[in-house]
Amino acid sequence: KKDPGIPNLYPFKEQLLRQMEERKLRIEQDRERRKLERHEELSKRRDLKSIQADAERRAEEFNNRHSMQDSNKKSHFFFIEQSRKQYYKEFKKVVEAADVILQVLDARDPLGCRCLEVERAIFSSGSKKKLVLLLNKIDLIPRDNIEKWLKYLRNELPAIAFKASTQSQKDHIARSKVAVTTASKNSLNASICYGADTLMKLLSNYCRNLGLKTSITVGVVGLPNVGKSSVINSLKRSRACTVGSEPGVTKNMQEINLDKHIKLLDSPGIVMSKRNDNTGLILRNCVKLDEVQDPIPAVEAILKRCNRQQIMEKYCIPEYNNVNDFLSLLAHRLGRLKKGGIPNVEAAAKSILTDWNSGKISYYTHPPEQHKLPSHISAEIVTEWSQAFDIVSSALTITRTLIHL
């Protein structure tokens, strides 16, 4: 039966109607509120699920990426190890085929560049192979420092000062014939070669003194990036070998006929397995910068070796407390910044290593005050080799090369 409603004569009809309307409104509001709460609860549940699903997805992507990086890193290290083994095979070919082994050293750190393992192998083999030390890049160190190193090294083996040519043409590479008494410091800083005549004289003397053969094979060995191929190009006076600022340019043994009496063998730069000082290898430019995982320890070693004031003036930065402070200042100075203006210290560190390898940062070592003959070199060997190479008569020519350094 239909509700007749409130009689018109009811004394509180309007008040009752208002209360009923308010009650109806509250019920409607409660319904909307409960509906909204249910919707929010469902949304929260969906959000939690989506967040969980997103977190799981990101975790899976991270694991996949991490495993892929590990796989790539293992493949990369495997490739490097295989390359080193291949380089060592080529290196052994050069040593076995050579009558004279020319070990190229960076004049800034001769002892750090010496391959003592190679020297021991040569002496212990019982062969009559001869070994000559070639101090390359003499333009990067003072003349008196070169003289001290030559005097120190000649207590053991024949040692020659050399500056390879840096000219870019394919042929007719300039080679100074000045008896270097007239060569100035500016001349040695030029792109032409110095010291080649002295080396050729020593090799020619060996050809004559050997008596058994009129031609010799000279193997050029040394650590990566000491300038082996540049030395050969300077002697050949043409770009017979490919050169580069990064290690690993030479991958196979190369034969270069210098003349009818002398044949040169270029070898890949080799790092012996006992050298596990990563920082030292990076500072000797034996490792490509792209392969350096953490360049900061190497930069820290550079800062310890170099004069602080010199570094501050060169890079126009204020006083710094430590290597991280230095790299932060340098990153701002060079504009090497990440998002949010955060300094990219890794990029700044690699720029320092680039300058170090190119010689823009001046640094050189000093020979020990007292010389001690290595265990693999005997006094008889020193005497024999001194006579064979006539170092006493050649020393005058070598010294003249240094007068105007």
Residues 176 and 203: their CA atoms lie apart, in Å, by: 18
Mean pLDDT of 339-358: 89
| Per-residue pLDDT at 149 exceeds 50 | yes
Q: Please check the confidence at residue 135 and state whether its pLDDT lies above 70.
A: yes
Q: How confident is the model at residue 75 (pLDDT cuts 50, 70, 90)?
A: very low
pLDDT tens for 92-116 read: 788 888 888 899 999 999 988 888 8
171 compared with 340, residue with greater pLDDT: 340
Q: Which of 165, 232, 160 is nearest to 193 (CA)?
A: 165
Average pLDDT of the residues in 77-95: 64
Q: What is the mean pLDDT of the chain?
A: 76
Tokens representing 31?
Answer: 């319904």
- Residue 387's pLDDT band, with cuts at 50, 70 and 90, is low
pLDDT over 70 for what percent of the chain?
67
* pLDDT tens digits, 246-255: 555 566 778 8
Residues in Cβ contact with 331 at an 8 Å cutoff, skipping those fewer than 6 apart: 337, 343, 344, 345, 347, 348
Per the structure block, which two tokens stand in for 6? 């409130």
What is the predicted pLDDT for the residue at 303?
92
- Between 30 and 177, residue with greater pLDDT: 30
Please give the pLDDT value at position 200.
85
Among 73-77, 137-141, 271-275, 326-330, the least confident range: 73-77
Q: What is the pTM of this model?
A: 0.69
Output the pLDDT for position 72: 47
Alpha carbons within 13 A on the beta-carbon side of 184: 2
pLDDT at 78 over 50: no
Helices 196-210, 391-401: inter-axial angle, 10-degree rounding: 170
Structure confidence by residue, pLDDT tens digits, 392-403:
444 445 555 554
pLDDT score recorded for residue 216? 84
Please check the confidence at residue 239 and state whether its pLDDT lies above 80: no
Given a contact cutoff of 8 angstroms between Cβ atoms, the answer to whether 133 and 159 are in contact is yes
Cα 386 to Cα 157: distance, rounded to the nearest angstrom: 8
Q: Which residue has the higher pLDDT, 102 or 81?
A: 102
User: What is the SS3 assignment for the chain?
Assistant: CCCCCCCCCCCCHHHHHHHHHHHHHHHHHHHHHHHHHHHHHHHHHHHHHHHHHHHHHHHHHHHHHHHHHHHHHHHHHHHHHHHHHHHHHHHHHHHHHCCEEEEEEECCCHHHHCCHHHHHHHHHCCCCCEEEEEEECHHHCCHHHHHHHHHHHCCCCCEEECECCCCCCCECCCECCCCCCCCCHHHHCCCCEECHHHHHHHHHHHHHHHCCCCCEEEEEECCCCCCHHHHHHHHHCECCCCCCCCCCCCCCCEEEECCCCEEEEECCCCCCCCCCCHHHHHHCCCCCHHHCCCCHHHHHHHHHHCCHHHHHHHHCCCCCCCHHHHHHHHHHHHCCECHHHCECHHHHHHHHHHHHHHCCCCCCCCCCCCCCCCCCCCHHHHHHHHHHHCHHHHHHHHHHHCCCC
Stronger pLDDT, 61 or 351, i.e. the higher one: 351
Determine the pLDDT at residue 325. Answer: 92
User: Tokens 């063998």 identify what position?
Assistant: 265
What share of the chain has pLDDT > 90, as a percent? 11
Q: What is the pLDDT of residue 396?
A: 47
Q: What distance separates the 2 farthest-apart alpha carbons in the chain?
A: 148
Task: Please say if the pLDDT value at position 327 is more than 90.
Answer: yes
Lowest-pLDDT range of 152-156, 163-167, 326-330:
163-167
